[in-house]
Structure 1
């Protein structure tokens, strides 16, 4: 259920209904576009904007343009990479605190120094990982929205988010392993971390906790982007206009915070498995859950929820704000280039 705020009232609309209604209005809008040059601007505005189902974050080019896919891919790589780096750099200390809280066992002392430990090496991995995620997510989303029934837009967003997370995990997992080992004070630099992890644990050590990472990130990516996209569809349908920067940031913060709360236990498991090193205190996801509950109680699975929600909530507002603004700029450039 999506709750849509307007200046006049408060409306609750089921997600499938929103998607179906919006797609129907798009059909009307498409027919209006052919004669828009002969219509007054006020009349044209009365029809909902075309392709809102793509959340207006899609690249604004004609779908019959032979270079459409490559342009979507290119611009998605840029916007995703930029948004990921901005968020990581801005909120890294909160992420470090979250990691240390989750890694500490009962009575463990939290170290408050070196909150930027590992930032440089992490940004080197975040840039290609974020770019890769959106390079998969955006084209997949647009393709699925074309082939799926009109009332299943949420499925398209869920599937595209999960697929983007799965592909980008090839880069994200080693980056996360090195980052969290440095955040917990195990290594002094990223090159040392990579070298020593491989020397002691083999190349597989760079993918420690890979299963738990997918267990956390696939539902996280799918849910966060589905919630965000569906909220934007509902909001734009009610407002009958493009969203402004503060509105994009607000919806991004809400989507991030909600998803962050729901996936905190999965994040705790992922952190424990990634930072344990060669000691193999936990033998896998199931053993990790059992050991944590037995030794620390069920509440330990929610460790670090406060800083995690704060980090992802603020991060969501920055991330989606930067993402949509960058897409808007690139889209305007594409339009100018296409028209010239």
Structure 2
């Protein structure tokens, strides 16, 4: 029974993750808007001589030293999820909307399989056998534990996914150009050390605990409330309603941690130079100082738009997979 929960949850999570990947990518791009990490490039110095000067072998040609500003690409103005999505489509092509999808598959395989399976195990273990009740406090506790374990397992894929999704916003010379999630993890290990694969892991664990507890626990709670009050029967309508409600709760609770996590994972650490952020708290302080407190809710709309469909696809797929694997 326990192993089946992991398999069922993993399959459903992979389907949900791939189908909502473009929304997740847009969310990451929006969370990185306004971030100021790199100092401007020094202005090149060029020596110019008068255009009409006559050259003579014995003559000294006077030169004038001018500072010529480099051709800089004007910063993109912050936009909403639709404008960000259109901009990605226009500048990078439709395939860019699925940048890092291989990392998403690996992340869902490691992270979501673990959290969904472990939550299912704890749910069966902690449900009162006499009343068949699974109290809200136990649901939240199960979600916190399952999310923490799943995040610790899946952090390398999470780092790779964030970087691959964010790569297209960088100038061509600064892009990492990972070929796949395997290439990303391999290069990070060689160039930045194995520890870089767990960069931002504390944030990932915190976010996963919040998301899992709020998403899975609130889904079960909303579903029970709907059925108890006989608002709807136990079917697709109930699943969709409970899923969107759970997705909204998860988005509100997790977005600030998600913004900080994204920025810490995506930061580029140059050899011999101090990292842009010394940690999560430093990142949060700098973000709020430069961009204001509402910067912690950047990407909130696509987060909500993703969490709803993701949760719906997740649980609808989960029910179908359970039917298929019922006899096993």
Normalising to structure 2: TM-score of the pair?
A: 0.74
Aligned to 1:98: 27
In structure 2, C-alpha distance between the alignment counterparts of 1:131 and 1:242, rounded to whole Å: 29
In structure 1, C-alpha distance between the alignment counterparts of 2:100 and 2:232, rounded to whole Å: 42
1:283 aligns with 2:278: yes
Unaligned ranges ≥5, structure 1 = 1-70, 335-340
CA displacement at 1:266 relative to structure 2: 1.1
User: 1:160/1:147 Cα in 2 relative to 1: closer, same or farther (>3 Å)?
Assistant: farther
User: 1:167/1:188 Cα in 2 relative to 1: closer, same or farther (>3 Å)?
Assistant: same
The partner residue of 1:116 within 98, 109, 126 is: 98
Work out which of the two has the higher radius of gyration on C-alpha atoms and give 1 or 2. 2
CA displacement at 1:150 relative to structure 2: 8.2
Structure 1: 4+ residue segments shifted above 6 A: 147-152
SS of the residue corresponding to residue 269 of structure 2 reads: helix
CA displacement at 1:259 relative to structure 2: 1.5
Higher helix share: 1
The partner residue of 1:318 within 307, 313, 321 is: 313
Aligned to 1:163: 145
SS of the residue corresponding to residue 252 of structure 2 reads: helix
The partner residue of 2:293 within 288, 298, 301 is: 298
In structure 1, C-alpha distance between the alignment counterparts of 2:105 and 2:212, rounded to whole Å: 19
Aligned to 1:225: 216
1:238 aligns with 2:238: no
1:28-68 per-position Cα deviation (integer Å, ceiling 9, x unaligned): xxxxxxxxxxxxxxxxxxxxxxxxxxxxxxxxxxxxxxxxx
1:176 aligns with 2:167: no
Aligned to 2:8: 79
Aligned to 2:207: 216
CA displacement at 1:148 relative to structure 2: 11
User: 1:241/1:97 Cα in 2 relative to 1: closer, same or farther (>3 Å)?
Assistant: closer
* Maintained 8 Å contact 2:223/2:238: no
* Maintained 8 Å contact 1:248/1:320: yes
Unaligned ranges ≥5, structure 2 = 36-74, 78-83, 168-175
CA displacement at 1:237 relative to structure 2: 2.4
1:10-38 per-position Cα deviation (integer Å, ceiling 9, x unaligned): xxxxxxxxxxxxxxxxxxxxxxxxxxxxx
Aligned to 1:203: 194
Normalising to structure 1: TM-score of the pair?
A: 0.71
SS of the residue corresponding to residue 20 of structure 2 reads: helix
In structure 1, C-alpha distance between the alignment counterparts of 2:293 and 2:100, rounded to whole Å: 30
* Maintained 8 Å contact 2:156/2:198: yes
